[in-house]
Amino acid sequence: MANDSSKEAGHACCEPRRRGRPLQMDRAQRESIVLDATMDLLARAPLEEVTMADIARHAGMSKRTLYGMFPSREQLLGASLARVSEWLFRPLASEDRGGTLEERLQLILTINPLPYLAGTTLEILRVVIAKAHTYPDLARRIGEEGQSRVIGLVRAELAEGVSAGELTLGEEELDHAATMLVDMVLGNGIRKLLDTAVAERDMDEHPVRRDRAIRIFLDGTRRRDPA
């Protein structure tokens, strides 16, 4: 299922855009086309070389229409990267809700790769971090909408585990617990940004690290019956 979704996302992103748009196209559809076009361009050229004019042209829209949806280039880039986060870590499908807590956490913390982007996302993050003074809102949004989104998904599952009597966490501990688990699974992001080899190795080893981190975390938080 994940592979099919990735292919569909890659296909949609890389399709050539035609000028103009159907009269019945709503704002959400136009925004989707713009975000696809933006990520397609970012996969081909450095972030600093991708202009609003380029994006408008690639999306088959006027700059005026583009600015009507995204008032600034920084806002558009932030929305595009936030969308990548939504693809990489996805909420549980309805058919997966019946699994155990461990199985549900494994699914949420599975990285769904987007082959057509390859290492583009990491390269963009490197540029944003190196020039955070130039892209302050973009850097802030990546932090707030990237890992924070995954933490929110994990927190919801931990809360269910508490309600079901599986975990001993208090309500006030859930935010910290979810953050700790995500950090355990994803590891040191700075090392990945600094060293491409580390990023590639961590991606290959992710399933093993994920499962081990979840087991260690649950072993320390599961409710135990008195001896």
pLDDT digits (tens, 9 = 90+) for 138-169: 666 665 666 788 899 999 999 999 999 999 99
How far apart (Å, rounded) are the C-alpha atoms in residues 214 and 221? 11
How far apart (Å, rounded) are the C-alpha atoms in residues 180 and 196? 24
Q: Is there a contact between 137 and 121 (Cβ–Cβ < 8 Å)?
A: no
> Cα 225 to chain center, whole Å?
38
Most confident region among 22-26, 45-49, 97-101 by mean pLDDT: 97-101
Say yes or no to pLDDT of 81 above 60.
yes
pTM given for the model: 0.68
CA–CA distances in Å: residue 128 to residues 39, 110, 114, 146, 227: 15, 25, 20, 14, 53
How far apart (Å, rounded) are the C-alpha atoms in residues 171 and 182? 18
Q: Choose among 170, 130, 128: nearest CA to 146.
A: 128
> Cα 81 to chain center, whole Å?
7
